[in-house]
Amino acid sequence: MKVGFIGLGIMGKPMAENLIAAGHQVVVSSQNQTTAAELAAAGATVAETPKQIAEQADLVITMLPNSPDVKAVALGADGIIEGAHTGLIFVDMTSIAPPVARDISDALADKGIAMLDAPVSGGEPKAIDGNLSVMVGGDKPVFDKVKDVLSAMAASVVYVGEIGAGNIAKLANQVIVALNIAAVSEALVLAGKAGVSPDAVFAAIRGGLAGSTVLEAKAPMMLDHNFKPGFRIKLHMKDLVNALDTSHGVGASLPLTASVLEMLTALEAAGHGGDDHSGLVQYYETLAKTSVETDRARRESP
């Protein structure tokens, strides 16, 4: 299948590389010229606009920052909609607001383009190794046509319902991840402030009921104060805003989500919006006047 890929950032580039490695013909956007050149060297072709990509592809995938970006690429000038042709499928793998996914799908349907919303979870490491989790909304027969392509980038590809359902599932995922990161942050700061090695606590609890993928991925980053972004705080804020907007619309109260959003907002205001979301630990460190990294170094010193 010939696949167009738009959005070659932290997540998008390795996802496109995995499609190439799986043997798909891949057409990428020229917007990020350096990355486009690297993918061209790996076997991709390069097009100037989303319209040009859509004209030559069977499937167009987007992996972009937010709802307005997806809407512009899909429906704007020189957008995917202007490259419409029989059989074209659009899969948006961005995390966006569910109503926006539905609006874009309706507009594309008028031009004969089928759309799936298929946001991902796993961050940069799983994008690189091709083990993302993908949650997909849209027409089931369309999903069946592209599932194998999506599987080239993922360990789990699950159909969850009609258009917009993929992003509802992703919002649920992001709520769980955010609250888990907050819990890990609280626990490590508590340990360090109470005079117990945060490393030792991590080692002690990881095999028990508190163990989780979030704990395994984020606790080491917190302990090293390595906040190189796999998923930025400002992007997680966007997802939590969408979660709260959705919750208000359906009458589901999310008080813990609202609290974590306020913590992330404080960190962004302090200049940490570009940090990995594991950087949430810095909020707790400020309150406790401590650092899990400093505590670690002090306890490891002779």
Phi/psi at 130 (5° precision): 75, 25
Q: Does domain 168-300 have CATH number 4.10.520.10?
A: no
- The pLDDT of residue 230: 84
% of the chain exceeding 70 in pLDDT: 98
With CA atoms as reference, report the closest residue to 64 among 118, 105, 133: 118
Name 196's Cβ contacts closer than 8 Å, sequence gap at least 6: none
Task: Give 32's pLDDT tier (boundaries 50, 70, 90).
Answer: confident
Residues labelled as active-site residues = 170
**Fold classified for 2-162:** Rossmann fold (3.40.50)
pLDDT at 299 > cutoff 80: no
The whole-model pTM stands at 0.90
- The pLDDT of residue 298: 66
Domain ranges for the chain, please list them. Answer: 2-162, 168-300
9-25 pLDDT, tens digit per residue, is 999 999 999 999 999 99
Are the C-beta atoms of 277 and 232 separated by less than 8 Å?
Answer: yes
- What is the C-alpha to C-alpha distance for residues 55 and 65, in angstroms, rounded to an integer? 23
